[in-house]
Structure 1
């Protein structure tokens, strides 16, 4: 009986060990994979707790709050989200745009991605930051549209400010997704939707213009008269 139990325990231990080894082999093989199938598309994000988070709602359903930061990134993406390559710094983007009563300010980050993400023949532009001043109930889609033209196909955001010119969520086989993306510096564009008056160059005070002309004319007359008087005295002295 004891020998039988010993053999049974030995078989059980060997079976468990084989299972662990097989599981480890499968996990190692899966972790070593460097390619996957994915899509080329504009991803939609919100800046939250110091990092980008993939939006849980579509841009036409999400309403960003006043002081919120929206992000869009064009990339080849698979299981791992490809977030904008710059931080969502509200102060850097909207700090110089005054708040307005009855409106909200939303910082908008648009990152067209890298040349490796681009379609053949397309060149991505710079990543930009724009302060959008808009109505309190404006959705993420309306915030994006305020900054430039948006190409929509079948309910998907396919192009932003003309990039890319074609294609929409196309599937791509065997993509290689980098572990990390190098960070970039945003090009801060002028705010849109703000009704605050732009600072105008200082104008010259025109109210003193006529008086200045009269004073100059009087000075010229005095000088001419003085010159004539001096000339007459010299002539008299010669005689």
Structure 2
């Protein structure tokens, strides 16, 4: 079961990586995207899309983790607030044998929401937990997590349904207006790993269309490599 979950998360990570990297050739297919919770780390003064799933990432003491719900296309849809560790964890004292990780959760904009859903404010929470805690455990310590088919589909009940759904003809703003984090009280590592699984649905429940997602990954990769070859050929002919 764990292997299946990791494989599914890797598929969505690969897809998001292709969509968010912005390196593929511009085609009609590039106008399609997915609505999902993206997982990020704050590094070098900016947000970077996570290259591994939250269940295997082990943030270090002083790290900043981020989650953003959005419709993803060719441009990264990162959390709209900076990953300021001092703002989130500066007033929380360090503890021997523990680590402090700042967690930023951004439900996104009303434009990205499913019909009838309203996103809450972007929040920052300092999580004090054991040094081996994964990104998934850190998130579960702050809010209930709805998991379907190995994917993080909802955080604190948002959204109430759907998971990695494809969205046709998306419209993504050039920039997202920055927001100020609502700083919540620090929490300890009181959530057991099972808490993140409590919302997991059975295999018969609706979830991300994995066959279509895998096909999309392959298609986007082919389009990207084809565009690169074509570009090189044109450059060679013009030289």
Normalised to the residue count of structure 2, the TM-score between the two structures is 0.67
Change (3 A) 1:96 1:122: same
| Whole-angstrom CA distance in 1 between matches of 2:58 and 2:147 | 19
Q: Does residue 144 of the first structure (1) align with residue 146 of the second (2)?
A: no
1:12 alignment partner in structure 2: none
Change (3 A) 1:133 1:42: same
User: 1:179 deviation in Å?
Assistant: 1.1
Larger radius of gyration: 1
The match for 1:53 among 48, 53, 56 is: 48
Give per-residue Cα distances to partners, 1:19-78, cap 9 Å, x unaligned: xxxxxxxxxxx7697971000000000000000000011000100000000000000002
Q: Does residue 184 of the first structure (1) align with residue 179 of the second (2)?
A: yes
> What is the CA RMSD across the aligned residues, in angstroms?
1.9
Aligned residue for 1:91, secondary structure, equals: helix
The match for 1:130 among 125, 148, 160 is: 125
Runs ≥4 in structure 1, deviation > 2 angstroms?
30-35
**1:202-217 residue pairs with structure 2 within 5 A?**
none
Q: Does residue 110 of the first structure (1) align with residue 116 of the second (2)?
A: no
C-alpha contact (below 8 Å) 2:110/2:119 kept by paired residues: yes
The match for 1:68 among 63, 66, 80 is: 63
C-alpha contact (below 8 Å) 1:35/1:176 kept by paired residues: no
| Whole-angstrom CA distance in 2 between matches of 1:80 and 1:184 | 18
C-alpha contact (below 8 Å) 2:102/2:127 kept by paired residues: yes
Q: Size of the alignment, in residue pairs?
A: 166
Bigger relative contact order, structure 1 or 2 (CA pairs below 8 A, ≥6 apart): 2
